[in-house]
């Protein structure tokens, strides 16, 4: 049997990254560059290196936070219809995304956003207001409000982003380790995105975007 005769498989879906995803990755590249520049001019450098035991503890914290947030979203999603609108939109956009695409998009978004918001903006606001708590709260609100959409169905997504921003910012505030919010953010995005992809592919009307 030749390659042309092989039956289609879910693993073959979207071997090429969709233009929509490429555009988002490009945007996050710009966000990352701006965040790094802000860190440089503000002298918000990396934290001292951690020991192996500290690294494991912080990795465990990140994993626990991510799983708790994903579980909370799952409970709310099953108990209410709050996320139905935004999930439908994301299924249409991301349904034919490959596993590599999910990982790439999750990685780009988590690194870029955490460098900008937690790595640069939070310490900058803390200096501006002379209060780490005020810097944390302000950054969390800005983070959430920038996750908005064109209609009311995106409101739950914005609320979720605000709450996530508070959790991610507090983790950074308490530990001073930017890797914790980055890893937490990555796991949240990857798990939620993959759930959306699987849901989309179970829909009777699912088809690969050309």
The pLDDT of residue 4 is above 50: no
Angle between helices 99-114 and 179-202 (to 10 degrees): 150
Better-scored residue on pLDDT, 6 or 187: 187
- 106-158 tens-digit pLDDT: 999 999 999 999 999 999 999 999 999 999 999 999 999 998 877 787 888 88
What pLDDT does 65 receive? 86
Of the candidates 126, 108, 112, 204, the one whose C-alpha atom is nearest the C-alpha of residue 170 is 126
Whole-number Å distance between alpha carbons of 162 and 144: 4
- 29-74 tens-digit pLDDT: 999 999 999 999 999 876 666 677 877 888 888 888 888 888 888 8
The pLDDT of residue 202 is above 70: yes
Domain boundary assignment for the chain: 53-202
The pLDDT of residue 104 is above 70: yes
Q: The pTM is what? A: 0.82
pLDDT above 70 as % of the chain: 86
Average pLDDT across the chain, whole number: 83
For residue 1, the SS3 value is coil
Of the candidates 108, 110, 69, the one whose C-alpha atom is nearest the C-alpha of residue 195 is 69
What pLDDT does 97 receive? 78
What pLDDT does 206 receive? 61
The pLDDT of residue 172 is above 60: yes
- Scanning the structure block, which residue is given the tokens 């990140």? 62
The pLDDT of residue 169 is above 60: yes
* Buried/exposed code over 100-129 (b: 16+ C-beta within 10 A; e: otherwise): ebbbbbbbbbbbbbbbbbbbbbbbbbbeee
Whole-number Å distance between alpha carbons of 150 and 158: 11
């Amino acid at each position: 049997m030749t390659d042309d005769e092989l039956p289609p498989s879910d693993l073959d879906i979207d071997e090429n990254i969709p233009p929509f995803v490429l555009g988002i990755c490009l945007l996050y590249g710009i966000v990352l560059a701006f965040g790094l520049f802000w860190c440089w001019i503000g002298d918000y450098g990396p934290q001292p290196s951690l020991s192996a035991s500290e690294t494991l503890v912080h990795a465990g914290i990140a994993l626990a936070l991510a799983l708790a947030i994903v579980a909370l979203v799952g409970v709310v999603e099953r108990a209410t219809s709050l996320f139905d609108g935004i999930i439908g939109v994301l299924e249409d956009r991301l349904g034919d995304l490959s596993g590599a695409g999910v990982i790439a998009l999750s990685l780009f978004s988590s690194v870029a956003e955490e460098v900008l918001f937690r790595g640069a903006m939070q310490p900058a606001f803390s200096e501006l207001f002379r209060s780490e708590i005020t810097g944390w709260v302000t950054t969390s609100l800005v983070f959430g409000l920038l996750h908005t959409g064109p209609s009311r169905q995106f409101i739950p997504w914005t609320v979720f982003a605000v709450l996530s921003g508070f959790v991610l910012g507090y983790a950074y505030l308490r530990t001073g380790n930017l890797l914790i919010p980055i890893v937490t953010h990555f796991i949240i995005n990857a798990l939620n995105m993959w759930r959306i992809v699987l849901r989309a592919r179970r829909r009777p009307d699912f088809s690969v975007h050309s």
